[in-house]
Amino acid sequence: MIYLLMMMTGLAAAAAGAMRLSLPLLVLVILAQGWGFCPESPVLEWLCQPVTLVPLVFWTLFEVVGSRTALGQRVVQAVQFIGAPLMGALLVSVVLPEASWLQLLTGSCLAAVLQLVQTGYIFRKGFLPWWFTLAQDGLAVGLVLMALGAPWLGGMVALGLVGLALYQTRQWQQFNPACGKY
């Protein structure tokens, strides 16, 4: 049962890394420095240093503000497409310091799948509305907080996102470009 709870914690953290790259890490750093949340994670100790905090804050601001334009959204999406698997494994290692390689690999694969579907959605639809990017930011912060406080719920939300991603890819397969209908 403990292993399943740890797996759900890792899934929630990896799904947060798939939504946004640096916002979940910034939330973890704020929790570590402001409220004393400190798992024995060497990665989190390294991220709490001012040298690493400045690029983290800069990229978070660019993700939040820069994704409001079409060009900014494309730049953010390209970086997220490459960095999401790494960020998924990194977030799993932060919230679960004693994570096994299987948990890291699962988190990385989950983040890659969610980011791949999100990239396909953006390139199919063109430009995402502002409320969608705001929902992504809220979901990323919520998933990190759920990974720490309610891991079962966070894991279920992450699995729900995987189900939604599978449904969306099925819709894309049934798309008929000749008539423009699903």
DSSP tag of 176: B
Whether residue 27 is contained in a domain is answered as: yes
Whether residue 10 is contained in a domain is answered as: yes
Q: How far apart are CA 170 and CA 87, in angstroms?
A: 26
Whether residue 163 is contained in a domain is answered as: yes
Whether residue 179 is contained in a domain is answered as: no
The domain tally of the chain equals 1
Residue (of 32, 21, 31, 34) closest to 115 by Cα position = 21
pLDDT of residue 69: 82
Buried b (16+ CB within 10 A) or exposed e, 135-150: ebbebbbbbbbbbbee
Residue (of 127, 98, 135) closest to 143 by Cα position = 135
Whether residue 94 is contained in a domain is answered as: yes
* pLDDT tens digits along 91-150: 988 888 888 888 889 999 999 999 988 888 777 777 778 888 888 889 999 999 998 888
Whether residue 182 is contained in a domain is answered as: no
This prediction has a pTM of 0.85
* pLDDT tens digits along 38-97: 566 777 788 888 888 888 899 999 988 888 888 888 888 889 999 999 999 989 888 888
Whether residue 178 is contained in a domain is answered as: no
Q: How far apart are CA 38 and CA 29, in angstroms?
A: 9
| Mean pLDDT of the 176-182 span | 58
What residues form DSSP beta bridges with 176?
Answer: 181
pLDDT of residue 39: 61
pLDDT of residue 86: 92
Whether residue 150 is contained in a domain is answered as: yes
pLDDT of residue 157: 94
pLDDT of residue 163: 92
Q: For the chain, percent helix, then strand, then coil, each to nearest 5?
A: 80, 0, 20
- Domain span at residue 109 reads 2-173
pLDDT of residue 159: 92
